[in-house]
Amino acid sequence: MLLVAFLLATVLLTLSIAASPVEVHTSAITLPFAKRLSTEGGTIKLLERDQARATTLRARGGAIASGHLGRRASSIAVTNEAVSYIASVGVGSPATYYDLIVDTGSSNTWVGAGTPYKATSTSTNTGQPVSVIYGTGSFSGEEYTDTVILGSLTITKQSIGVASTSRGFSGVDGILGIGPEILTEGTLTNEPNTEIPTVTQNLYSQGKISSEVVGVFFAPTTSASSTNGELTFGGIDTSKYTGTLTYTSLTATSPACYYWGIDESIAYGSTTILSTTAGIVDTGTTLILIATNAYTKYKSLTGAVADSSTGLLRITTSQYNSLQNLDFNIGGVTYALTPNGQIWPRALNTYIGGSSSYVYLVVGDIGWNSGSGLDFINGQTFLERFYSVFDTSNSRVGFATTAYTAATTN
């Protein structure tokens, strides 16, 4: 019997209108979300899934740069979304609520992978075919405009995709895309040069929020029954971080520049393993992926071995006790990922095909050497230790430590 596990229960959306803790001139909305871990189809292949996504992200960015977005892959490997952050989002009037993956690495919002789309009086079919390939899955269908509900705030005439077919999205209903608008270019089949305003842009243009800013908070967890994250649209929640929130400009290096791309260097202890280069910050990637040459250095320095069952690097308990910090230098500020932040939660080893006797590292090989223009992905396991802010208005990304930066829960 296949094991189906949920790391955190999907939660119904609740809303709090932030007052003093949120640094905006008008109200911001806070959208709680839950981490979900599913083993439909067998044990979770984290590295395989994340590498496939990375390959697609790099290719799509390259296609945007070259103007070849109309060229679609004829076939893709399909892997079910394994570790996702899920928000409950209403569509229509009266609203149907959908469990949508929160994704900073894509920008289309769509439904219908699980719960069928229900047309209401606010639904308009634009007649436009729409499709997106994600590397580990895809969807195709038709574009509608409809009312979208985030808590008590309502977006009118938001473009959404309504899936007629989807692959790789078992157990969820679709995606809430909060990446840059340019990532929607090429997704409307008959209008490949058209960009689709995102939910964040429409919240701003319709006067619901005062700035195009999204704050993202995750907390590391091994629990199976609690909500461990929130999105704040239109501001930042100062109660969710400690110290100083520091911003860095978006990178100008292609193809990372088409995403939430930044420049950073990485050091293990006192040894630099990745010189300053461009990569992206992505809620849709589980692991921290780094260029192959950096990964090789990290593997050697930690004494880890490649585990054939999980695909991840594996160390013993005694080696874990000797791990050093993995330091990310971003905009002149060092963000230290502690030894505990570098490992997969040991209570969840069996979900990834691992053994309770070992410790597995969450740093993986992206699949190519540095110099590609997208040499790292700071995924969920990085974001669970640092508060992040995605600021479209000022073309920047911000980070700060949290109460969980030095947590030892893993």
What's residue 219's pLDDT?
A: 86
Q: Is 375 a catalytic residue?
A: no
Distance CA 34, CA 84 (A): 8
Residue 282 annotated to the active site: yes
What integer pLDDT is reported at residue 85 of this predicted model? 84
Q: What are the φ/ψ torsions at residue 266 (nearest 5 degrees)?
A: -130, 135
- Residue of 50, 99, 103, 263 marked catalytic: 103
Mean pLDDT by 10 residues, the chain (410 residues): 32 28 51 71 79 94 79 34 79 96 95 97 97 89 96 91 93 94 95 95 94 92 64 92 96 98 98 98 95 98 96 96 98 98 92 91 98 97 96 97 94
> What pLDDT shows up at residue 223?
52
**385-400 burial string, b = 16+ CB within 10 Å, else e?**
bbbbbbbbeeebbbbb
Distance (Å, rounded) from C-alpha 349 to C-alpha 317?
14
Q: Rounded to two decimals, what is the model's pTM?
A: 0.89
Contacts of 141 (CB under 8 A, 6+ apart): 110, 112, 129, 130, 131, 161, 162, 163, 164, 165
CA 368/CA 122 separation, integer angstroms: 46
Question: Residues 50, 237, 263, 282: which is the catalytic one?
Answer: 282
How distant, in Å, are the alpha carbons of 6, 99, 267, 351 from that of 10? Answer: 8, 8, 36, 18
Residue 64, classed as helix, strand or coil, is helix
Distance, in Å, from the CA atom of 240 to the CA atom of 407, rounded to the nearest integer, reads: 14
Transcribe 156-215 into DSSP letters. EEEEEEEEEEEES-TTS-EEEE-S-GGGGTT-BTT-TT-----HHHHHHHTTSSSSSEEE
Amino acid at site 234:
G
Residue 61 · residue 256 · CB < 8 Å: yes
The pLDDT value recorded for residue 81 is 46
* Distance separating alpha carbons of residues 350 and 406, to the nearest angstrom: 24
